[in-house]
Chain A
């Protein structure tokens, strides 16, 4: 299955590249999110789309989720989906230093902002390592307080595999996590694989 799409070496390289990319972005992300926020090293899984809902369900549990999608284009083209557990979603305002109770639109804007920052850091960092140019379109809300199972219509997903990137924020006392899923169409997987191979060859 997923091993057929990426060799062991390629997968290790991908994890490594994301680590470096994320690590570089990490400092600036922390600067944006607040000095007590730590961003953990993301864990990468290569999954078939139909395995994404169960993988999400395993992490999120039975909790309802809110999700943001954002397209990316350029040398690498695809869609990123950031998934938040509903309870974490509410903590976000807290995390971002909003003291007052905020209205729904502000909360959603915050969510879009944080998602944009994460996708930019994660994929932008990866692209930078691979020497790829990447642009982003505006993020949009994909679902609010939905069941995990209804989130991704895997039947309609034209992607033989997806990179499933788990990213965790943590705070001094609290921990907060969300999950980033990077979806690539088939031809883009080849592009990514070539880029990884080039990177491996340049070592």
Chain B
């Protein structure tokens, strides 16, 4: 067995290594072409050696490659290409023709200057490394990363919506329990108010009768004996009888007024809290509006003056508690749109076969890009805790269920008007009737 010389060994390895190796002289003539290159290009070393690279492979990107090689010669330094920017230098088949999914072998190339003793670059050697497997793995990884990113974005969006839905649920649960409480309190208060009211009525008539009797007595004591008379005079002075008679009547009248107001509030609470109700019934929209305005009065009184421009309205068939909810949202939105002080105008009327209710404010107005989305569920421009973005979308579906429509007209800096049209009859009822 004869020993290999060092250069024989190097030559053998350069030829058989599983990496493409070739070299070029200053005229781009091939001076080395290893087995890998021969196998993949199907051009043998004998066929290509001594020939100009571009003559043998006219499909190569000539000007780019020339430039690259010249750089290596001039700078006496390495140069590289990566499959990520330039998928391949030579179009070779790769080792995954079935499962690969790429068109040709992906290659990383290194250009190295081959120097002589004097350090001059006499040739340029190029290695071509098959990185198809890496490239495929890399691309699969990138695809699944993108997928994960997309899913994460989706989840973030869902989590946001869930948080808002929960917020809304809490809010409506709060409203519902307030409604129940209000109904309960209203019921409880109704009883005592009933008997206080009737007692007060009786009291008023007793007072009237007493006054008549008192009138009859007035001055009669003048004819009484001296001792008795001065005693009665002192009593009359002591209680200031004239003032007392006057004030007694006032007190009774004021109490009856106060009681009327309590009765009104209780009635509003009862009307408003008929939340669960979904049966359509004939209702007076002006009454609905007044009730709603009373309920929200506290929230808006520092912001806005409410102007009512009510026209003539027939009763319409509707679910009053749901319409109350719509009116309340419109009025609260209007108040929230007003920064300092403004006016909310509520107008009503009829147009053809339909009635309308309009809520106009002198608030900030709605810019066009927001306007497109205000009826979307969860769309809000208000801070967390103030807005849920559900008000208008719920209103929209309520109006739709009533067979009506809601339109908005807004100018930034001037204000906004929401206008609702409703038919006289509730659609479901129509369907039942026909």
Contact indicator A28/B80 (Cβ below 8 Å):
no
| A165 CB within 8 Å of chain B | no
Q: Closest A-chain residue to B110, C-beta based?
A: A138
Interface residues of B in 60-105 (CB under 8 A from A): 68, 70-71, 74-82, 84-86
Contact indicator A120/B78 (Cβ below 8 Å):
yes
Q: Chain B interface secondary structure, helix, strand, loop or mixed?
A: mixed
Chain A hits for B77, CB < 8 A: 116-117, 120-121, 124, 136
Chain B hits for A116, CB < 8 A: 77-80
Stretch at the interface among A79-87, A102-110, A155-163, A177-185: A102-110
| A140 CB within 8 Å of chain B | yes
Contact indicator B78/A140 (Cβ below 8 Å):
no
| A135 CB within 8 Å of chain B | yes
Contact indicator B78/A32 (Cβ below 8 Å):
no
Chain B hits for A141, CB < 8 A: 84
Query: Looking at chain B, what size class is its interface with the partner chain?
Result: 10 to 19
- Total A-B pairs in contact (CB under 8 Å)? 50
Given contacts A32-B71, A117-B71, contact A136 B82 (CB under 8 A): no
Chain B hits for A121, CB < 8 A: 75, 77
C-alpha spacing A138/B79, complex, angstroms = 8
C-alpha spacing A29/B74, complex, angstroms = 8
Contact indicator B75/A112 (Cβ below 8 Å):
no
| A59 CB within 8 Å of chain B | no
Given contacts A105-B86, A112-B85, contact A32 B74 (CB under 8 A): yes
| B362 CB within 8 Å of chain A | no
Which of B70, B79, B86 has most chain A Cβ within 10 Å? B79
Chain B hits for A28, CB < 8 A: 74-76
Interface residues of A in 17-38 (CB under 8 A from B): 25, 28-29, 31-32
| A63 CB within 8 Å of chain B | no
Query: Looking at chain A, what size class is its interface with the partner chain?
Result: 20 to 34
Q: Closest B-chain residue to A139, C-beta based?
A: B80
| A94 CB within 8 Å of chain B | no
| B322 CB within 8 Å of chain A | no
C-alpha spacing A120/B110, complex, angstroms = 14
| B108 CB within 8 Å of chain A | yes
C-alpha spacing A199/B128, complex, angstroms = 38
Chain A hits for B79, CB < 8 A: 113, 116
Q: Closest B-chain residue to A110, C-beta based?
A: B85
Chain A hits for B84, CB < 8 A: 105, 108, 140-141
Some 25 contacts from A to B, beta carbons below 8 A apart, are A28-B74, A29-B75, A31-B74, A32-B70, A32-B71, A105-B84, A105-B86, A106-B85, A108-B84, A109-B82, A109-B85, A109-B86, A112-B85, A116-B77, A116-B78, A117-B75, A120-B78, A121-B75, A135-B78, A138-B80, A138-B108, A138-B110, A139-B80, A140-B82, A140-B84
